[in-house]
Amino acid sequence: MPNRYLIANWKMNIPPEGIVTYLDAVKDANAVIAPPFVYLKDVAARFANISAQNCADQKAGAFTGEVSADMLRDCGARFVIIGHSERRTIYGEDDGLIARKLEMVIDAGLTPILCIGENEQQRERGHAVEFCSDQLCAAAIPQLANANEIVVAYEPIWAIGTGRNATGAMVAEIVGAIRDALERFWPDGLASRTSILYGGSVTPDNVDDLIADGRIDGFLVGGASLDSKRFLALAEAMKRLPAQP
Ligand code: 13P
């Protein structure tokens, strides 16, 4: 059965209330926090489940400015976000690079949070399912067989930071398609253990629509994760997810 996760992706921000105040406020939330690299150790000292937001596609060597998955593990990270659309669109990361990063994260014994999702044009043309399936197919590397766990985050690009969230019905459709693609392309048994999260303008106001159908395993949250009160409200909403079969 997939684990359920609520993940705070701070992106290149720190909570306006300050890291210590924020972490004190959310200390009992069953959540994962993904701060910028340089705060990983500080956050890890106060909070159990920590994720990095990115990693290098190489183990070590002359790669100025990069940080390896092994180094992130040494800093206390248990998870690494891979292939976020901001990495894909702003920094030009393609499926090949993301597949290599996935391999590094698995080799380091960490759990990858692999982000996928279509842009507005692809959705309007009715290609969302096909595009997300292709992204999962491109991530079907042999090392997946060694992974204890993988998290897939469906984050449609048109919903990130826009205030326009996908509807519960859209999310339900894509989650079904993601599970089908995982069964087809990924090693046996991994699909049923893979958590599928939704991300894109999730707030305490829209979260109940997104959880209603019960197919989602949690959320990857940007903007609303920067305020401890809003993030705690999302942690409470996670408790309203229907019981797993
Ligand atoms: P927002 O919640 O700000 O739309 O960001 C979503 C996201 O990109 C999380 O990784």
Residue whose CA lies nearest to ligand 1 atom number 7: 222
CA 82 to ligand 1 centroid distance, Å: 14
pTM of the complete model: 0.97
- Residue 61 CA to ligand 1 center (angstroms) comes to 32
- In tens, the pLDDT along 42-85 reads 999 999 999 999 999 999 999 999 999 999 999 999 999 999 99
Separation of alpha carbons 100 and 82, rounded Å? 10
Query: Is any atom of ligand 1 closer than 6 Å to the C-beta of 202?
Result: yes
Atom of ligand 1 nearest to the CA of 224: 2
> How do the pLDDT tens digits run along the chain, 245 residues long?
899 999 999 999 999 999 999 999 999 999 999 999 999 999 999 999 999 999 999 999 999 999 999 999 999 999 999 999 999 999 999 999 999 999 999 999 999 999 999 999 999 999 999 999 999 999 999 999 999 899 999 999 999 999 999 999 999 999 999 999 999 999 988 988 999 999 999 999 999 999 998 899 999 999 999 999 999 999 999 999 998 87
Fold (topology level) of 5-238:
TIM Barrel (3.20.20)
**Span from the CA of 10 to the centroid of ligand 1 (angstroms):** 9
- Active-site residue set: 84, 155
Tell me, what's the pLDDT at 109? Answer: 98
CB 67 within 8 A of CB 101: no
Domain spans in the chain, listed from the N-terminal domain onward:
5-238
93 lines ligand 1 (CB under 6 A): no
DSSP string, 136-198: HHHT--GGGGG-S--EEEE--GGGTTTS-PPPHHHHHHHHHHHHHHHHHHSPTTHHHH-EEEE
Average pLDDT over the chain reads: 96
pLDDT computed for residue 245 by the predictor: 75
Question: What is the C-alpha to C-alpha distance for residues 165 and 80, in angstroms, rounded to an integer?
Answer: 24
Atom of ligand 1 nearest to the CA of 199: 6
pLDDT of 183 reads: 95
Ligand 1 pocket test: which of 6, 9, 116, 154 has the largest number of ligand atoms within 8 Å of its C-beta?
A: 9
Residue 244's pLDDT is: 83
Report CA(28)–ligand 1 centroid distance (Å): 22
